[in-house]
A and B are shown apart, each in its own frame.
Chain A
Amino acid sequence: MAITKEEIEHIAELSRLELTAEEKEKFAGQLDSVLEYISQLNGVDTRNVEPTAQVSGLVDVWREDKALPWDRDEVNDALRQGELEDGQIKVKRVL
């Protein structure tokens, strides 16, 4: 299977990446060879096999739905990493 230029552009769009023409061509070839390699999984019989999402051995780890207190200075240090306005994280217009 060969990935088309349109598919690469679609995946890049979903990935929120802007690729150069050179990157598009390079990635198309590289993803093709990886996907071809991966396609050997099609030959595995997985009827009646439950998929595994995690291997922690734990089921339903609950905690109270309550915010835990955190060191104020650390919170401020975390917030300072981005652009702030009136103590709020600034984002571009959505609408």
Chain B
Amino acid sequence: MQLNELTIKQARAKLDSGAISALELTEACLERIARADKDVHACLLVCADEARAAAQEADRRIQSGEKGSLLGIPYLCKDNIMVKGLATTAASRIIQDYVAPYDATVIKRLKRAGAVLLGKTNLDEFAHGVSTENSAYGPTRNPQNLSYVPGGSSGGSAAAVAAQMCLFAIGSDTGGSIRFPASFCGVCGLKPSYGRVSRFGLLSMTSSTDVIGPLTKTVEDGALVLEAIAGKDRHDATTAPEKTEDYALGIAELKNLNGLIIGWPKEYFIKELDSQVVARMKEAAERLRAAGAQLKEVSLPYTKYGVPVYYIITPSEISSNLARFDGIGWGLAKNEAGDLQEFYKSSRSAGFGPEAKRRIMLGTYALSAGYYDAYYKKAQAVRTLIIRDFAEAFKKVDLLLTPTAPHPAFKIGEHIDDPLTMYLEDIFMSGASLAGLPAISVPAGSVENKSGTPLPVGAQLIGPRLAEALVLKAAKVLE
């Protein structure tokens, strides 16, 4: 086994025993990136020199007897999160020359923990998409089969983990952007509860649902990363004051799931669902039952309104958040423009790609005079009903088991000109995002697509707010 193929837990044991160094581990990842990323295109930037220096520093800390679950562990980070001194592009032309002046809180915490940043990963521009095809720097390919998309928007992070370029990766999830690519690439992707992880230094997309979380090779690794990045941050007033938990210990000490009730929400098992996906979910349910959990059918009647609500609220918040990209102070500036209005328009039109423009337009429309009540306010009210659905369900069950995606990965280019089809991909993920709940996608085996190609699919577990520990424990059983 190559060093880059290790899980965090395996590497930890080898680093602590002195069998390997953080520098060797980092070199193995850098070599893997150099070899595989020509095809996969998961990385937008590789900072090899900085990574080597960080690995040597981690080796010094390990030699001095310091302990830490991520000390010397190499990782990649989605390029919509700021790392001081490195370009942060959000896969957009509008900030292609932007250099982050400070570290995001998650990066600061990972640096303190001694994790080694290898570089930045590709995404749909500003995280708008489900395929990573909306990147201004070209699509990422699915390492399981290069003709297919890796999912999105954290497609670079999911592909990098699946292709063994790093031990873990950081992504962001607004309506499924960690879970969806995790499902398509066959890795674990955890979306923490809204507010569990600081968003300070994350380029804002939908401020009311954006969350940062880990993509990992195992559930336990996800727990280790969450422990390092979770918690209150004075720079993000929406972070939860509740104490974080020892998420990995809960998994290590897990014996069974006796007494746990898992809900099977009938509205998630729609008739359009691939029958093989249903079969994989039934197998997942069986594993939970074998571990002692009880399964119970539940109803979340407002499920079908998740996507329409999401695609009003999200573009609305986007149109407001992306208003800051006006060519002044940073980013692309078309200085030859005559007056201020023309300057704004020419800078923004040259800088934003088609999907960003589409979402800005849609959001501006939904928030404009005469439509605000009909669209935005209506969506906010239905959002309340979706939240109540989950609250009612969690009176009867502890967790919910659903597919992450209705089918496996689709081909690159297959849906590129059909935004509505792309938006519908969020069908099983938008609910947990709108309600701010923790959710994980765990590999649930593979299914054959129409052309007989086997591709991975994920099972999703959704828990009550701040119940990450419980979600992770049950997810461990699904592995």
Contacts and interface: CB of A to CB of B under 8 A. Distances in A.
A30 B34 CA distance: 39
Contacts of A37: 307-308, 311, 420, 423
Interface string B323-352: 100101111010101011101111011001
A41 B346 contact: no
Nearest to B98: A81
A94 B331 CA distance: 20
Nearest to B369: A14
B260 interface: no
B358 interface: yes
Contacts of B337: 92
Contacts of B383: 51-52
Given A19-B349, A61-B237, A52 B387 contact: yes
A52 B362 contact: no
Contacts of A50: 381, 384
Contact of A56 (B194, B319, B380): B194
A81 B195 CA distance: 30
Contacts of B312: 38, 41
Given A54-B238, A81-B330, A40 B381 contact: no
Given A40-B308, A58-B238, A34 B419 contact: yes
A41 B238 contact: no
B298 interface: no
Interface residues of B, number: 70
Given A27-B358, A82-B328, A82-B330, A56 B195 contact: yes
Nearest to B363: A15
A83 interface: yes
B305 A40 contact: yes
B423 A17 contact: no
A91 B385 CA distance: 45
Contacts of A66: none
B237 A91 contact: no
A53 B238 CA distance: 13
B361 A12 contact: yes
B99 A77 contact: yes
A54 B380 CA distance: 9
Nearest to B241: A58
Contacts of A38: 308, 311-312, 375
A63 B339 CA distance: 39
Given A50-B384, A53-B208, A53-B380, A92 B358 contact: no
Interface string A24-35: 000100110111
A53 B208 CA distance: 7
B326 A16 contact: yes
B379 to A, nearest CB: 6
A7 B361 CA distance: 11
A46 to B, nearest CB: 4
B423 A46 contact: no
Contacts of A49: 381-382, 384-385
B309 interface: yes
B370 to A, nearest CB: 11
A81 B99 contact: yes
Contacts of A79: 329
Nearest to B345: A18
Nearest to B349: A18
A2 interface: no
A21 interface: no
B88 to A, nearest CB: 11
A93 B364 contact: no
A41, A53, A93: residue with the most chain B Cβ atoms closer than 10 Å: A41
Nearest to B238: A56
A62 to B, nearest CB: 9
Given A51-B383, A81-B329, A41 B309 contact: yes
B360 interface: yes
A46 B377 CA distance: 10
B386 to A, nearest CB: 9
A91 B339 CA distance: 10
Given A14-B368, A34-B423, A27 B361 contact: yes
Contacts of A12: 361
A78 interface: yes
A61 B361 CA distance: 32
A7 B465 CA distance: 41
B413 interface: no
B101 A30 contact: no
Interface string B83-126: 01000000000000011011000000000000000000000000
Contacts of A8: 361
Interface string B251-280: 000000000000000000000000000000
8 contacts: A15-B319, A35-B362, A37-B423, A41-B378, A42-B374, A56-B195, A57-B436, A61-B238
Which 8 pairs from chain A and chain B are nearest by CB? A51-B380, A55-B436, A77-B101, A81-B330, A46-B381, A78-B101, A82-B329, A18-B345
Given A15-B357, A40-B308, A78-B330, 12 more contacts: A7-B365, A17-B348, A23-B357, A30-B358, A37-B308, A38-B312, A46-B378, A46-B385, A57-B195, A58-B195, A58-B240, A75-B101
